Structure 1
Amino acid sequence: MSSANRTEAASAVRRSRLRPARTIVAAFGLAIALGTALLMLPISKVGEGGASFLEALFTATSAVCVTGHVVVDTATFWTPFGQVVILALIQVGGFGIMTFASLVGLAVLRKISLRSRLTTATEAHSFGLDDVSGLLGRVARITLVIQGAVAVLLFLRFSLGYGEPIGRAVWLAVFHSVSAFNNAGFSLFSDNLVPYALDPFICLPIAAAIILGGIGFPVIMQLRKHLRHTLKWTMNTRIVLAGTITLLVAGTVYITAIEWSNPATLGAMEWPQKLLAGFFTSVQTRTAGFNSIDIGAMDPASWIGMDVLMLIGGGPAGTAGGIKITTFAVLFFILVTELRGEGAVNVFGKRLPRSVHREAITVVLLAVGVVVTATVTLMLITDVTLDRLLFEVVSAFGTVGLSTGITADLPPAGQVILILLMFIGRLGPITFASGLALADRRITYELPKERPIIG
């Protein structure tokens, strides 16, 4: 094969690697467009007429991107039909658009195309094409089992503990179970879960669903297979579990300590109730978005800590957003290695490839760039304070959905910015960038090295 032919073949391979990312971006866009159209129908909105284009677009984007940001009250603005549309968008968005499409194709046609396999593997962060069919089945079973179990617990509590009619209790249980596992944060109560802040039988099942959805399907599958054989756990599983526990504990301690005497949040509660509310709020920063206390009344110092937790997010290949625990952990271990003066970055007895270093740094820098740009833009078009705007931006980018109460009051341009942040945050900076890339360039030579002064 000639040099020109090899170059052309290599270029074709690189272009083929971009197609799955572009397909995922297009699929999410199509799902949002369909959801917007359905939510604009008069049957979706309470009262006369339909929702405005921006109201429908914002809600559809928030649902598909499993964020939870709202500009209208989900409980009173949307009809049961509109709420069903939102629930469907949450389920499909959390499961993965292409993963869901491939599952349907597998069920109907008993097979999926090679392109669908490649796209699904990319979206699900699978390392091979041969196991895609089995992967789809396992993901579907895990999703239904966890959501079903949580729904049963919530149904019993709503029905027996609060006297809700059976039909209403079933709908509340199913909606909040799906919303929790998919880390969406949509609620059928106007004040979210504030009325249940002191009820562990509501808060803990929802928190469990959020945590399980947030650690990612690869981790759940490995724990299911090798729960007692920790030596068989991959580096990804070890990092996600250690990071999840560390961040949950740190978030709980940080939020509870700062809000302990705040009369507008935890101040009036007994200490066990404070711990429950603090833990539940810490869980929500993992990109879930439910709230059992008034976020807008929290101390600004709490917001800063929550900004960090929301930006980190949950595990990869799950329903959580953010830059992911693994990305943050890689940067942390790079820092530790540099401080020790060591050459290779070692994690849990394994060495990290240098390509992973570059990927982590790229993701973080892109995320910071997006957050800073959006925050500055919102500062120019609104009079809202920096701390509230930063919280709103990080929450949207991390697909969290928590808000200090300014979302609905933002101008249309500000809400469009949040829509773009949710879309970019759900797909991931690198996926989004590669999906929009029209061409790439391969450098066939290396320049001489020179070291600048650092620090």
Structure 2
Amino acid sequence: MSRLPGYSGESAWPTVSAFGSHQAGLAGFGVADRSPDDQQPRNQRGQLGVNRLGDQVLVAYFHSISARTAGFTTIDIGAVATPTLYFLILLMIIGASPGSTGGGIKTTTFGIICAAIWATLKGRADVMMFHRRIPQEIVHKAFVLSALAFGLVTGFTMMLSSLESQNFIRIMFEVASAAGTVGLSTGDGGVRSLSALFSDFGKFIIIITMFLGRLGPLAVGLFAVRTYEELRYRYAEARVVLG
């Protein structure tokens, strides 16, 4: 296949474009996720800590970014509504962008998965973003990385739920925060994190989760199961019915 005239080789534009669009999109979703419970007076339900619409948008925007990177907070996380906690969990799992010190599966991974789903719904064989075709190897790694991250958070959440007498969504929030190396916590009602109430073994699980989150689920998975033996044959193709 011949290249288009004027094409001089690889370009960083797809990564830069994906980075910018995914950052803007996730921040936009964060602003949109202002749960009705979060807008009620504090004595009725936990909220974003502000009443004016402009302040609510600003706080939501700040935390939609902070939940994926720094872990800073200007509100009482333990007072927000359950839907908002769940949305913050998703943002912590997605994490920061490639090349940063943040954790999570990374914004580009999430973007590739969305593009792959869209391509499948459109009946396209290739996954395309910003007028570029994404190699199938990268698409496969994106799905594997997401599955491993989901398994990590789900597995350790189930373990802690069977050990600790805490609310399930708050335990999941704590695990996702550790896996994404974020540092947010719903708290123990005082100045300590929720992990301070865990047993010694529960705290050990949180520590392991942070180490695995820092190394990256994909790196850990490849180290555990990767084989360097190249197969010299291919099996016959099988069509499996889905859905």
One-letter code of the match for 1:274?
Q
Report the counterpart of residue 252 of structure 1 in structure 2: 31
CA distance in 2, matches of 1:312, 1:280: 16
Contact kept in structure 1, 2:35 and 2:81, CA below 8 Å = no
CA distance in 1, matches of 2:95, 2:213: 11
Q: Which of 124, 139, 153 is equivalent to 1:357?
A: 139
One-letter code of the match for 1:243?
H
Q: Per-residue displacement from partner, 1:170-197 (whole Å, max 9, x unpaired)?
A: xxxxxxxxxxxxxxxxxxxxxxxxxxxx
Report the counterpart of residue 290 of structure 1 in structure 2: 72
**How much does 1:294 deviate?**
0.6
Matches within 5 A, 1:261-410: 261-263=40-42, 264-266=46-48, 268-405=50-187, 406-410=194-198
Contact kept in structure 2, 1:256 and 1:278, CA below 8 Å = no
One-letter code of the match for 1:247?
L
Contact kept in structure 2, 1:316 and 1:324, CA below 8 Å = yes
Identity value in percent: 32
**TM-score, length-normalised on structure 1?**
0.47
**How much does 1:321 deviate?**
1.1
CA distance in 1, matches of 2:210, 2:28: 27
One-letter code of the match for 1:287?
T
SS in 2 for 1:402: coil
CA distance in 2, matches of 1:255, 1:441: 51
**TM-score, length-normalised on structure 2?**
0.85
SS in 1 for 2:230: coil
CA distance in 1, matches of 2:31, 2:66: 11
Report the counterpart of residue 143 of structure 1 in structure 2: none
Report the counterpart of residue 415 of structure 1 in structure 2: 203
Contact kept in structure 1, 2:145 and 2:217, CA below 8 Å = yes
Q: Which has the larger radius of gyration?
A: 1
Contact kept in structure 1, 2:78 and 2:186, CA below 8 Å = yes
CA distance change for structure 1 residues 445 and 438 in 2, over 3 Å: closer, same or farther?
closer
Contact kept in structure 1, 2:70 and 2:102, CA below 8 Å = yes
**How much does 1:433 deviate?**
2.9
Matches within 5 A, 1:15-414: 234-255=13-34, 258-263=37-42, 264-266=46-48, 268-405=50-187, 406-414=194-202
**How much does 1:258 deviate?**
4.9
Contact kept in structure 2, 1:261 and 1:267, CA below 8 Å = no
One-letter code of the match for 1:423?
F
Stretches of structure 1 lacking an aligned partner (at least 5 in a row): 1-231
SS in 2 for 1:326: helix
SS in 2 for 1:334: helix
**How much does 1:375 deviate?**
0.8
CA distance change for structure 1 residues 451 and 424 in 2, over 3 Å: closer, same or farther?
same
**How much does 1:233 deviate?**
5.2
- Residue 426 of structure 1 pairs with residue 205 of structure 2: no
One-letter code of the match for 1:388?
R
Contact kept in structure 1, 2:35 and 2:83, CA below 8 Å = no
**How much does 1:355 deviate?**
0.6
Contact kept in structure 1, 2:177 and 2:183, CA below 8 Å = yes
Between 1:435-444 and 1:270-279, the stretch displaced more is 435-444
Report the counterpart of residue 451 of structure 1 in structure 2: 239
One-letter code of the match for 1:335?
I
CA distance change for structure 1 residues 349 and 379 in 2, over 3 Å: closer, same or farther?
same
Contact kept in structure 1, 2:35 and 2:84, CA below 8 Å = no
CA distance in 2, matches of 1:262, 1:291: 19
CA distance in 1, matches of 2:126, 2:61: 36
One-letter code of the match for 1:359?
K
**How much does 1:359 deviate?**
0.7
CA distance in 2, matches of 1:341, 1:437: 32
CA distance in 2, matches of 1:439, 1:325: 28
CA distance in 1, matches of 2:123, 2:222: 34
Stretches of structure 2 lacking an aligned partner (at least 5 in a row): 1-10, 188-193
CA distance in 1, matches of 2:23, 2:71: 17
Tell me the C-alpha RMSD between the 2 structures. Answer: 1.9
CA distance in 2, matches of 1:306, 1:254: 10
Contact kept in structure 2, 1:255 and 1:282, CA below 8 Å = no
**How much does 1:292 deviate?**
0.8
CA distance in 2, matches of 1:410, 1:324: 29
